[in-house]
Amino acid sequence: MTASFVLPTYNEKDNIIILIKAIQKSVKKVTRDFEIIVVDDNSPDRTGYICRKYFGIRKDFKVYIRKKERGFASAILYGIKKARGTYIIVMDTDFSHDPEIIPSLLSKIKNCDIVIGSRYMKNGGGENKVRYWLSKVYNLYLRHILRIKITDFLFGFFCVRKSFLIKNNLLSKNVFKGFGDYFIRLAYYVSKSNGIFLEIPAFYKSRIHGKTKSNITNMLFTYTTSSLRLFLQDLFS
């Protein structure tokens, strides 16, 4: 199988069906050999069950409803482990990640190990300008402290070779834990494993339905703590 889409969900019933249809439409421009994996943390709004009812039982679509385990990053890890595709595409499920760039992700991954959607490449950007500029400043800090030449550690829209993750033992709870800070760790360990990065422009859209799960204060503390730990690990290794 060519591609597996991993979609972690929690209370996204108003977005998920529309998003999956948009993914299907976009990916079919380049391949019909794909699967979509929804990993739902037993959402109170029954996101997972709504997906099952709408799409039914089919080989190219799986819904996993986790009733014991919780967490954004751990849901992504769970989905990647279940995936059968050569390439894994991870997307948020609030439409902040535009399905239209999927063909570009799949085209570019053939020449590298991980392709990252970046708001800070030419033709990239963000709808929320305050968030865009605050994130840009923080990305400059991450780029400096981790010494990794990518422009966006925080967007979380990427395509990666599953074989690369397996070969370098990156499918680990030590990497995939927490919230968006998992991708800071993933980028760090991909770099340490001599992985080849490539970035493409992406545009961050504000969510239309539902409420954000992000808490800026908690995110700033967690992301800074995580990055400093990686810095010190690198310093004393």
Token output for 177: 């834990």
What is the DSSP-derived secondary structure letter of residue 118?
Answer: E
Residues in a beta bridge with 58:
61
pLDDT the model gives residue 212: 60
Q: What percent of the chain has pLDDT over 70?
A: 96
The domain 3-235 is classified under which CATH number: 3.90.550.10, 1.10.274.100, 3.40.1190.20, 3.40.50.720?
3.90.550.10
- Whether 213 shows a pLDDT value over 80: the answer reads no
Q: What would the pLDDT profile of 97-127 be if each residue is shown by its tens digit?
A: 999 999 999 999 999 999 999 999 999 999 8
**DSSP element (H, E) containing 65:** strand 61-65
Amino acid, single-letter form, for residue 21: K
Q: What is the mean pLDDT of residues 86-90?
A: 98
Distance in angstroms (rounded) separating the CA atoms of residues 88 and 171: 12
pLDDT tens, 146-158?
Answer: 999 999 999 999 9
Is the model's pLDDT at 214 over the cut of 60? no
The 3-state DSSP class for residue 197 equals: strand
Instruction: Output 159 or 130, whichever has higher pLDDT.
Output: 159
Q: What is residue 165's predicted lDDT score, i.e. its pLDDT?
A: 98
The pLDDT value given to residue 209? 58
Q: What is the pTM of this model?
A: 0.93
Residue 49's CB is within 10 A of a number of other CB atoms, namely: 15
Domain boundaries, the chain: 3-235
Return the structure tokens found at 203: 């545009």
| Partner residues linked to 201 by β-bridges | 118
